[in-house]
Each structure stands twice: as structure tokens, then as C-alpha cells.
Structure 1
């Protein structure tokens, strides 16, 4: 039941149906009354599409588009100017036109020659008709055409009653739904009332009239516009005339409203799970909550049951997902030292996400995700994204905020799901964790603020304790139309309370030799001031380029940062690491994540940016160049120097340096028109004279729905990859799909995908094959001791979609949208 306080706009998004509901799912009718309360955009007969903007990472799925259908799909007699409101019938007059009229008693009228009657949304044409003005009975014969708000009907003979909105059509009956592209033929058609119709010995399809690639053939089909569904009895579904499904009872949608029923089945094959088949069933329980139950079968591992529940109440929204395999049948003959034997075990994965508004300004947010074992994602994943996930994150937080402050209290934890790593790679549990931040404006230009955090860290066989980090500050923002000046003065204080036994640990865990621990006291602390000055100018001029007029800006910027040096080697490393240098770090006050390390600084960043804006204000070209100059050496370290590790940013550690300047940073982004866009970033180290980072991305639109992507990614010592992906339209109906990722460091293909798609008037077919590595480490030289290069797995996915019976985007669509930038 829909809560009275919940507006229709708060309903959940629709799930699209395959429209095959077996007789065992009779209870699906319980949600019929709810689906009509929340209307969604109807499918149109012509179809419209919105092109996904260039540069968009994940494009939304396209709605049903019937533009490939024949233009005469609405039959030849459709009147677009007729009223669409059937509620007007009760008070509307009936207007009649004919070439000849005979009335023997002024009650019975015999009409002939171009007979036409109109009442509200009803319009009838015939060669001959008899009409009773007292009873409103009519009898129409010869090329009878009937139109109402929801459908069109043509037949040789139609009899009925105007007041009751009833009628019977016989002889060459054809019908077409106006809220969808559904159409068919029947031996007999009945209008039961203003919203319900019945067809006997009938067919139904969304294909072109007379060209049904697929259709439902049934002894009887009932349609109900109030529920937006059709019910077929003794039904067979055929494709090219060949039956492939039979049900004594089945239901299908007449529009895009949410309805209970089966979603599209999904087929796949992977090396770790074998052949897979799944067919979800969707439960439209109410406008604000629903559920999806998905039985699965893996040929190598057995039967799995997965499900999802979504809910949306006035104060709470969320979803719960679970996958459960009661008994794993797979006997892995290739067990390694890091994998486990899961034969006969229960396997599961669950995720719970919830957001509850407790009172104004405060909410409780939960995100919990856990797996039964480290091998779960490797065994049941079907793409590189899932396989390469190493940690599952869970958190619970109470969050609050006001005009000048925000606060939170809760905790975080992680689960290791990388079978090549021991559980010691899991980060510290941060439980409890509390934060409080404020920013209070005073005077005209000034702000006073505070960033603070208090955390308790725990991890097996590691030094444990609590940390308090506080940074009060005062800043100002002086600015004009062509300049800005932003000084900031902060003071950072960090203190620890280490648990007993801290002397037995070093940065990497328990040690057996006394005197090797860097932790010399139970309550170490660090305090220091942080001073920064950020200033810049903005110049503009009019210019032209490639025959177009632009406004060019020149934006020089200086950023000075001063932080005195503090020796921090006696502080633990709970959640802190060195961040890879990138463009945004030109103006960052710290090169470390977390609060365990604060870099020393006497730095000046000089950068300049230029932009080209077209007459509409759209940024067509932007370029940035900058560098940090160090007046004093970078002395704050992470433990790499304590273990004789050489100075490097590659391994995530930082050693003392005497470099006079950072990498040179250069960026260029351009989109001169709506057909292509390109971006590049380059970092060159003047001290080592080596390239630290280089990226290049190009995207080109091919026709209306085609796309071509090329990218190159290089990070010295970590990754060097090429990636090419494309959706190439061979015609308006056929598309080739491909994606290839190659690692230059590994000298191997990381992921490859190839497929073909066909889209016709009423059907879509996708066949996609994927090859991807399992347990990918990034570089072969980084493999753990004793580990060999990761293997590969293959997945073959097939999806068949019948338009108008639902547009559920199954696993194939979601994989393509994630793997191919701009896929739609």
C-alpha cells in the first residue's frame, strides 16, 4: 500500500518486463492497482532518442525506439486530433455524419455512405450503420474503423452500445494499441467497458503490422488499460513462426508502468563457473517498494538464488542484495597456495545500503558489503572490474550538519577479497570514528574554521591505538572581477594514545628483536603551523581560431605553502600513504593521505591556464602548465627509508629528497565540435629526466549512435596500457562492438571484447564474447613471491529483447556501458 504522505514523484524507477508470467505467479495481480497510481512516460510509436554527450563515462540505457518500424504502423485511419480523454464520454454528445439517412420512426436511423460518428475520444467509420437514439445501440457494417483513446480496431462488422462503451467486432479483426506499438489480429473482439477489451483466437506483437518477427498466439487475450497489462490464456510465443514458449496463462505489459513478471533471461559462460542461466522475476509490490528474485544455475557450481529488495519511504530509502549458493559442486584441480577449496561449501555475497533521515539535519547512512570467502568475486565475477576488486568496504555513519558545520560518528571496515593476498592487507578498522568540521564567516572577507577527527584503529598483529587530529584555521577571500588573493593560516595538532604492547611492533607488524620498534612512547604527538597564500589574475581577449570567434583567457596563478619540518618517525601509520603526484597536487597542502604524516614545505607553485570560450560560453579548449619549486628539501618520510628502500614514489613510500622542483605538469583538453573530444596530461621529472605520467584520451562520434575511443595510460613503474573501444554502426540495424586493453609492461592482453548487435522494429539481439585476466596485478614484476602470471577467463553473453515487452537492460548492457566509454 502506498503511504499517504509519499507523493507519486517518490516512486521507485520502473523495472521492464519480459512479459512472460507463468500460472504459478497468479499473486502478481495483487500489485496491479498500485502500478496505475504512478504513471511513467509512455512508449511512443515513432520513438525519440537523446545522444549521450561526449566524455560521459556511463550513459543511461536508451528507451524503446520504434523508428525502424514502417511509418504506417498506426493503420490508415488514425485521427490525431481526436480527444484522448475517455472520461468525457458520459457528458459528450454523439455527432453523426452520413451521405444518406433514413429514419422510419425518428428513433431508428439507417445510415449509409461514409458513415462517421464521434463522441469524446470515440470515432467510428463504416459503409453502413444502424443507430438507435433511445438505447444508443449501433450496428456498423463494411470497412468498419473504430478509434478510442487507447486503441484502434478495424473489422467487417461491429455492434455495440455507446452509453455502456461496449461492443463486439467480427470478421478480419485488427487492432493496435496507442500507448505502445502492440498490435494483432483476432477472430472476435469485445469491448467490455471503457478500459477493458477481450480478443478471441488472437495474436499480439509489437512488430510491424503484417510482419511479425515474434508474436503471442493465444486462445484469448484480455487487456486492461487501468492496470496497463494484458493477460493471455492458452498462449504460445513464436519467433519467425516457430513456437518456443507455451504457457496456459501469461501476462505482458501494455505500457512502461512497473508490473510484476519475468525479466529477460540471461545466458553466459565463464571458465570458473561454467555455463550460466538466470531469469529474474520482478515483484511490483507497491509504488515505493519492490523486489527481484533471480534463480541462477551454474553448470560447474550448482544452483544459486539471488535477490534484491528496494524501498523508499518518507524518511528511509535503501536496498538489499544477496547471492547465495548453498552447495558449491566445483572441484578445483588447480588450487594454488593462495586459493582455497570451496567444494561443498556455502558461498554468498550480500550488500545493504540504507539512508534514514532521523530529524532535520541528521541522517543515518549504512553501506555493508561482505562475501563468504576471498575467492568469491574471482569465481563468480564475469569481468575485469569485478575480478580486480581487492577490498569490500563497509561503513555505518550518523551524519549531521547545519549552515556552518557538519559532523559524523560511525566506523569503517574492509574485507580482503583478493585470493593472492593474505588478510593482513586489509586496512585498519576505524571504529569508532568521529569528525567535526566548521567554517564560520566573520567580517566581510574572513572565515574561521576547524577540521577535526577522532579515531580508534584496530588490526590483528599490528600496533593499535587512537588518534586525535585537529586543524583550526583562519582564511580570507579577497577578489575582484580579474583577480583573487586568498591567505590562510592553520595550526595542525595530532596526538596518539597507543595500546599496551606498542613496543613490540614496527610499521609492518610484530617483531621479535627488542629495540627495533620506532614507537618510543605511548602518547606521541605532532603540532605545527600551516601557512598558504593563493593568488591569481584573469585576463581576457577576443580571438579567432579555425574560422570561429572565441574569448581567450590567460590565468596566471601563484600558490605559496609553508609548513615547518617535524620528525614523525615515531608516529604509527594507521591510514596514511603517499599519494601519487598529479595536477591537483600543485595546490594541495599535503602529499600524504590521512593524518599520520604532514609534509614539510617551503614551496611556491607557479601555474598558468588558458581557455577558449565560444560565443555561447562553452569551453572548447583549456590548457594548463605548472610546477612546484621547493626552497627547502622534502624531509618527512614514510617507512621506505627505514627498510633501505630507494627514493621512489612508485612503491607508495616517500624518502627524503633535495629536489629543487616537482614534476612539470601539462594538461590540454579540447572539444572543438560535437563530434570529437580529446584530453591529455603529461608529468615530466626534471630531476630524473624521466616521464612520470602520461595520458591521452580521444573520443570520436561515428554517425548517430557509434563511438570510437582510444586511450593511453602511463605511470612510471606501475602501468602502461593502451585501450581501444568502438561501437561501429554497419547500418541502422547492425552494430559491431569491440574493446581491447593491452598492457605494455605485462606484454599481454588484459581484456578483450567483441560482439555484434542487431536492432529491428521490435527485437534486439546482442552476442558478446569477453576475454579477461583473472587476479590481475598490474605488472608481472609485482607478483607476490611464488605466484605465477595470472590466468585468463572467457565469458560469452547472449541477450534477446522483445521491444514493447520491456526494455530491461540485462547483464550484457551493463557490461558494455561500463567497458565502452559513451556506449548507449
Structure 2
């Protein structure tokens, strides 16, 4: 006979409240005032006792109160003390977290007591384990003794053992902070102890927490054995810091640190690294960086500040400390660039006006075998712009003025430093219609220079004033079309662009921030053939082009695009960069471009610069990618460049990148490891120089994803200069729900940086529903 009765203040039977939505991964407890009013229900095969005093249940005993449910063979409940004693196949489900054992003594609402010979499973991360005893301190805190902890899913095999398990003398579980702390622990992998840890903390969810991060161990042919032990400090939800002491057996010890902050109106980070007495370089080594971006609203307008500063101790730092360190939160100075900025920008804007004050000073790390000319510093730059929002007669207009002091090491330049001022005003009148557009534009450029040394003609100053006129126009024709069984909206978009700038001799003017623009579909419809303000091309040319597109009539997505464009020059372009030759060809090379995205899974893009006079291609870029699903992507690109006015060295390269499950090769196309014994992935990127017949950059690796761990091994070889390269092997074990162990630098950071469209194997994590383990 099945008996049941309510105990407590409420006599009407009701279901206990379901667990609340976890945030971010654990179920929140009911408010104490609400829990105190919840009834207690007991039932079982036999029930005896006194109402509102005590109850004894024999056989299939069950007690419910709010989000707590207790099952057992036998149970005694003391109403006044709210105390349950249970034995025989005892099971607890509290807000989705499950426990099972042989003997329970617990205050139900306070969730205070003990559980003997217990096992447990948490809802948020699927972690589970066994213990000789579980002590429940309160609803959020418990202590397990002689315990195991793992996230590996149990199989039906009788001899099942988890791939990884943390065995500890004592584990403290804090569900409020979502942190576990193990003492006297050993981490085992495949039955082999790999990491003894006297004390370790680990997350019970994805929530950030303070504590030691897994160490990084590496071997370098120059620095020797490397060991880094980062410590993470979760200062506040919007602030944190990471400190990483590091030992290099051939160099010495170093300390790196990083501090990050995020506020409603500003954010930034600071980082530094210091190595006293590097034994290989025989002096102290250091590096620091700082970034800050913020905007402040004031009664006189918005004020913004942006900082980007990086500095190192010596020219060899980029070579000695490239991509080293733990890889956690960027705490190590990962440095490969040889140009380090010291950039500070102060902005102000209100209505139609904006002002920028900037200082930029570069640190150039020189290689004696491959020296580079440092860019010009801007000490300072002051820029003003006025762009009224509405003008009569549909006009668009703007005015800008700029003052910049350019300064650089004269050993690298044959031209003097200078203070340059320029002003540029423009006005246009767009005529827009559904079938096309016409936009005439008039610009006026005025530039003034003051030099700190005379030019070749003896002048210490120079001025230049030039007008520019352009007329941009285009038409759009549309029609319904069908290709390969699909319906499309096809467009035909002819475009004509004319620009005229008179000739002014600029051959004596130095160049500070100017370079010739690339010849592509973006620059062919612009007024100036140079980027910057030291050269204004004397153009008298007409650009003609046409583009056709195939658009999905339902979504508007572009399935295909084909275009071509060519310039017709009416007079020679005599203004050039220093050392350049005038352009006398009346017809430019022809640009041909195509893009095909027939389905979301694959696409092809290509651009060809064709010289009709020589009958050959001067530059070709063709890229294709195939991405049929998650973690399945292959991309390839071919790039060829012959010698032109802009390019002095020819090149021909093939670039291939991929990420693909190897299980597909033997017919296992299941996408998750829980559906199979595990999944292997091949991942990599190869950059091959057809010109030199050698691999320039190589990143290849293997990844293995099981239900509870991920393994990675990556070989990386990167070209650092014409005559040198760096090679390293990186290994990583990621224990899902615990941490990552890396040997060498972080391979995950390398894959994300180099492999196009790379996806982290656990990038999408679905939080469990509050009803997932509802009983």
C-alpha cells in the first residue's frame, strides 16, 4: 500500500518548485522567506508517526521540500528539527545536483549534515565523483573526503575508468562562488598520475576565479627548459590581473604581469615583463605595453582618449621573446613586430566639429642583416574637421585642416624633417535615383611646409595649392534570370568616373606619410593615385567599369558577382613618388574580378590585373573556401605578383588552410564525441613560395576531442627574416571542466591566429536546462 501525507504548515498537496534557471551554470537557491513557507511531503510503502512532529517511512521512502528531494529504503523525519535520517540506497536531488550513498543525516532546509559512501553529479558542468563521506555545510558549501572528480561520461562497460580524474584527500565545493578546492590531490590521465598538487582550485562553471593557472613547460634550443606558472587574480567583475613568474634555465628568471579593466565609458589593459641579468645577453631585459580607450561626455562635447604604447629594452627582444609565455590573458609580451608604437590621441567632437590632437613616436627594432627605415614620428599632430549635416540644395561639404611635425632619425633619410600644414575643402552634389546616380565633386588642397634643413634647391619652405574635379556616375539595370535551375534577380551596373587635377611640380617635396595606392577595385574610382598628403597626382582620366550581380530574390544574398574596370588616361601622369617614372600609357591594365557564393557552404573570389599590351597577367589572386559544417573548412589561395611600379620583387605563393575531422575518412561522420569513441581533427596552414620553391610559414597539427578532454599537438615554423626562422612543437591537454596543461607555448593561440575560420572544439557550450535532472 502506498501512503502519503503533507507535513508542516500547508495541508494542500502541491509539487515542489522546480529548480531556478542557473546563472551562469548553477541553479540559484530559493529565497529563505519562500523556502520557509514550502510544505514538506513524505510518502512510502509504510508511513507512521505523529502529524507535525515526526514521520517514519519504510520502503520507497520519499521526502520533498522546495527544490530538495530525498529517496531511500528507510527514512525518519523530525519536523521540529527539520532533520531527516535515511539509510539504504539514499538519493538526493537538490536543484538538479544529485547525490547517492548509504547513510544520510541532514537538516533538510539548511542542507546541513553528512552523507556516507556517497557519489555526486553536478548539473552545471556534468562533473561527478565518489567520496567516503560528504559533509554538507549549508546549501552552497560542502566538503567531500577521499574523493574523486571528473567530467568524463560513464559508459556501460563494467570495467569503465574515466580518462582523467582528480583524486584528493579533501575537496571543498563552493556552489555560491562556483569554485572547488582540492587538497592532497593527484591528477591522473589514462590511469597514469601526471601532476601531483598539494592544493589546487578549479572552476565549477565558466565563471572567472582567482588562483593558480596550469603551468606551461617548454624546451627551446637557445633559452633551454622554460617553466611558467601564471596566477590569475579576479579582482572584480570588471577588473582582473595575471602574474606569471618564468624560469629559463639558460637565461634566468623573469616576471610578467597584466592588469585589465572595463568601465562603462572606458577600458584598457597594462602589461609588463622584466628579466634581471639575462645570462645570454648580459643585461637586463624588459618590456611594457599599455592600451586605453575612453569617451567622456562633457557640457562642451564628447572627449575621447586613446593610448597604445609598447616599448622594449633592446633590438633583440622581438627575436628572443617571440610568442613565449603562458598564453593566458596575454600576460606575456607576445612580440613579433619590429615597429612598436607610442601613440596617444585626444579627440573632441560636438555637432559638426571635431578636433584631434595626436602624438606618435615609434620604437624601431633593427636587425643588422635586414635594417628597416623607421616611420616618421608625429610630434605632434593637430587635426580639425567641419562637416555640416544639412546644407541647402542637397549639397554635401566638409573642411579639414591639419598641422603635423614630422621627425625621424636623419641617418635613414636624405630629406629634412618638417612641419607640414594642409587644408582641404570639398563640396559635392549627389543626384540619386533608383536607376542610377551622378555625383560631381570639387576639392581644393592647400599645403605648406617648413623644413629644418634646406632642400636641394636651397629653400627651407614650400607651398602647393591644387584643385581637383571629379564626376562619378552609374546606372543600375535589373531583370529576372534563371541559371542552373535557380531564379535570380540579375543586375547590370555600368559606372563611369572622371577626375581632373592640374599638374604642379612636386618633385622637390619630401614624402612623410604618402605611398602609392594599390591598383584594385577600391582605388580605381578615386581622385588621387597616392595615399597621404605629400603627393597629389595630376590626373586627367576616365575610369569605365561594369558589374553584374546575381541576387537571391527572397533574401537579397549575393550568389555571384562579376566585374571589370579600366582607366583611360588623356594625358601623362607626371607626378610620381621619389625615384618613380611618369605614367604615359593611355590605357591602364584591366581589372577583372569575380565572387561566387552559390551556397553558404562554398565560395570563390578572384581578381586579375591583366596587361592587354603584353597579353599577360601582372597580378592574380584567386581564393576558394569550402565550409560544409562546424569544424569542417578548407581554404586555398593563389597569389602572383610581377614587377610593377609599386612592387620591386616578384612573388608567387600558394596558401592552404584547413580544419577537418579525420573520422570522416573512415566513414564516421558523427559530429560529437559522445556519439563515438572520440574524434580526430587535422588542422593547419601552409604558405608555399612557388618562386623560391620552399615553405615560408607552416602550422600543422592534430586535435583529439573526447567527451571530457581535448588533446592538441602543433608544429609551427614561421619565417622571421630573410635568413632566419623559428620552429617549435606545442602540446596541450585540456581537461574539460578543470584546466589546460601546455607544453611549450599555447597551441590554441597559434591555431586561432594562423588558421582561417578555425573553430575551437568547445566554442559552443549549451547550458543545461533547469529541468535536465528534474526528479
Q: What's the counterpart of residue 364 of structure 1?
A: 305
Of 317, 336, 345, which residue of structure 2 is paired with 1:376? Answer: 317
Q: What's the counterpart of residue 730 of structure 2?
A: 797
Matches within 5 A, 1:759-798: 759-776=705-722, 790-798=723-731
Q: CA separation in 1, counterparts of 2:221 and 2:482?
A: 57
Q: What's the counterpart of residue 635 of structure 1?
A: 574
Q: What's the counterpart of residue 152 of structure 2?
A: 207
Matches within 5 A, 1:10-159: 41-42=24-25, 85=30, 87=32, 88-103=34-49, 107-149=53-95, 151-159=97-105
Structure 1 residue 434 and structure 2 residue 360: aligned? no
- C-alpha distance 388-744 of structure 1, shift in aligned 2 (>3 A): farther
Structure 1 residue 502 and structure 2 residue 454: aligned? yes
Of 431, 440, 464, which residue of structure 1 is paired with 2:417? Answer: 464
- Conserved in 2, the CA contact under 8 Å of 1:557 and 1:606? yes
Structure 1 residue 734 and structure 2 residue 684: aligned? no
- Conserved in 2, the CA contact under 8 Å of 1:270 and 1:796? no
Q: What is the RMSD of the two structures over their aligned residues, measured on CA atoms? A: 2.4
Q: What's the counterpart of residue 749 of structure 2?
A: 814
Q: CA separation in 2, counterparts of 1:475 and 1:273?
A: 61
Q: What's the counterpart of residue 447 of structure 1?
A: 396
Q: CA separation in 2, counterparts of 1:703 and 1:442?
A: 50
Cα deviation, 1:631-678, whole Å, max 9, x if unaligned, reads 1111102221xxxxxxxxxxxxx3212111222111111221232122
- Conserved in 1, the CA contact under 8 Å of 2:466 and 2:501? yes
Shift of 1:296: 2.5
Q: What's the counterpart of residue 417 of structure 1?
A: 365
Q: What's the counterpart of residue 356 of structure 2?
A: 408
Shift of 1:315: 4.1
Q: What's the counterpart of residue 552 of structure 1?
A: 490
Cα deviation, 1:736-782, whole Å, max 9, x if unaligned, reads 22322111223321112222111111111111112232313xxxxxx
Secondary structure of 1:170's match?
strand
- C-alpha distance 148-297 of structure 1, shift in aligned 2 (>3 A): same
Cα deviation, 1:581-639, whole Å, max 9, x if unaligned, reads 22211112211122111001111111111222222221121222111111111110222
Q: What's the counterpart of residue 626 of structure 1?
A: 565
Q: CA separation in 1, counterparts of 2:555 and 2:628?
A: 25
Shift of 1:86: 6.3
User: For structure 1, which runs of at least 5 residues remain unmatched after alignment?
Assistant: 1-38, 44-81, 331-342, 504-516, 641-653, 777-789
- Conserved in 1, the CA contact under 8 Å of 2:142 and 2:174? yes
Shift of 1:721: 0.9
- How many pairs align? 693
Structure 1 residue 241 and structure 2 residue 191: aligned? yes
- Conserved in 2, the CA contact under 8 Å of 1:309 and 1:320? yes
Q: CA separation in 2, counterparts of 1:321 and 1:808?
A: 23
Structure 1 residue 680 and structure 2 residue 641: aligned? no
Q: What's the counterpart of residue 70 of structure 1?
A: none
Cα deviation, 1:446-469, whole Å, max 9, x if unaligned, reads 122113211011123240121111
Structure with a larger share of its residues in strand = 2
Cα deviation, 1:200-240, whole Å, max 9, x if unaligned, reads 11111122246322222222211111111112222222223
- Conserved in 1, the CA contact under 8 Å of 2:733 and 2:740? no
- Conserved in 2, the CA contact under 8 Å of 1:220 and 1:232? yes
Shift of 1:299: 4.1
Q: What's the counterpart of residue 227 of structure 1?
A: 177
- Conserved in 2, the CA contact under 8 Å of 1:496 and 1:524? yes
- Conserved in 1, the CA contact under 8 Å of 2:494 and 2:546? yes
Cα deviation, 1:770-818, whole Å, max 9, x if unaligned, reads 2232313xxxxxxxxxxxxx13331111111111124799721111111
- C-alpha distance 386-670 of structure 1, shift in aligned 2 (>3 A): farther
Shift of 1:105: 7.2
User: For structure 2, which runs of at least 5 residues remain unmatched after alignment?
Assistant: 1-21, 155-159, 325-332, 644-648, 664-672, 674-678, 760-775
Of 433, 447, 450, which residue of structure 2 is paired with 1:480? Answer: 433
Q: CA separation in 1, counterparts of 2:394 and 2:274?
A: 58
Secondary structure of 1:585's match?
coil
Q: What's the counterpart of residue 763 of structure 2?
A: none
Q: What's the counterpart of residue 12 of structure 2?
A: none
Q: CA separation in 2, counterparts of 1:196 and 1:657?
A: 78
Q: CA separation in 1, counterparts of 2:226 and 2:628?
A: 34
- Conserved in 1, the CA contact under 8 Å of 2:354 and 2:384? yes
Q: CA separation in 2, counterparts of 1:90 and 1:808?
A: 45
Matches within 5 A, 1:606-755: 606-614=544-552, 615-640=554-579, 654-701=580-627, 704-717=630-643, 718=649, 719-731=651-663, 732=673, 733-755=679-701
Q: CA separation in 1, counterparts of 2:279 and 2:746?
A: 24
- Conserved in 1, the CA contact under 8 Å of 2:318 and 2:338? no
Q: What's the counterpart of residue 50 of structure 1?
A: none
- C-alpha distance 669-351 of structure 1, shift in aligned 2 (>3 A): same
Structure 1 residue 397 and structure 2 residue 350: aligned? no
Shift of 1:112: 2.4
- C-alpha distance 144-85 of structure 1, shift in aligned 2 (>3 A): same
Structure 1 residue 183 and structure 2 residue 95: aligned? no
- Conserved in 1, the CA contact under 8 Å of 2:200 and 2:212? no
Shift of 1:97: 2.5
Shift of 1:474: 0.9
Structure 1 residue 586 and structure 2 residue 524: aligned? yes
Shift of 1:254: 0.9
Q: What's the counterpart of residue 531 of structure 1?
A: 469
Q: CA separation in 1, counterparts of 2:550 and 2:740?
A: 41
- Conserved in 1, the CA contact under 8 Å of 2:703 and 2:711? yes
- Conserved in 2, the CA contact under 8 Å of 1:418 and 1:775? no
Cα deviation, 1:507-538, whole Å, max 9, x if unaligned, reads xxxxxxxxxx2x44222111111111111111
Q: What's the counterpart of residue 47 of structure 1?
A: none
Structure 1 residue 563 and structure 2 residue 501: aligned? yes
Q: CA separation in 2, counterparts of 1:142 and 1:543?
A: 75
Q: CA separation in 1, counterparts of 2:60 and 2:642?
A: 82
- Conserved in 2, the CA contact under 8 Å of 1:496 and 1:523? yes
Q: CA separation in 2, counterparts of 1:686 and 1:301?
A: 59
Secondary structure of 2:504's match?
coil
Q: CA separation in 2, counterparts of 1:320 and 1:254?
A: 29
Q: CA separation in 2, counterparts of 1:363 and 1:426?
A: 28
Q: CA separation in 1, counterparts of 2:371 and 2:358?
A: 23
Q: CA separation in 2, counterparts of 1:40 and 1:798?
A: 33
Q: CA separation in 2, counterparts of 1:344 and 1:569?
A: 48
The 4+ residue runs of structure 1 with deviation greater than 6 A are 385-388, 421-424, 807-810
Q: CA separation in 1, counterparts of 2:739 and 2:272?
A: 24
Q: CA separation in 2, counterparts of 1:537 and 1:41?
A: 53
Q: CA separation in 2, counterparts of 1:286 and 1:388?
A: 32
Cα deviation, 1:232-273, whole Å, max 9, x if unaligned, reads 222222223332333333221111111012223334445554
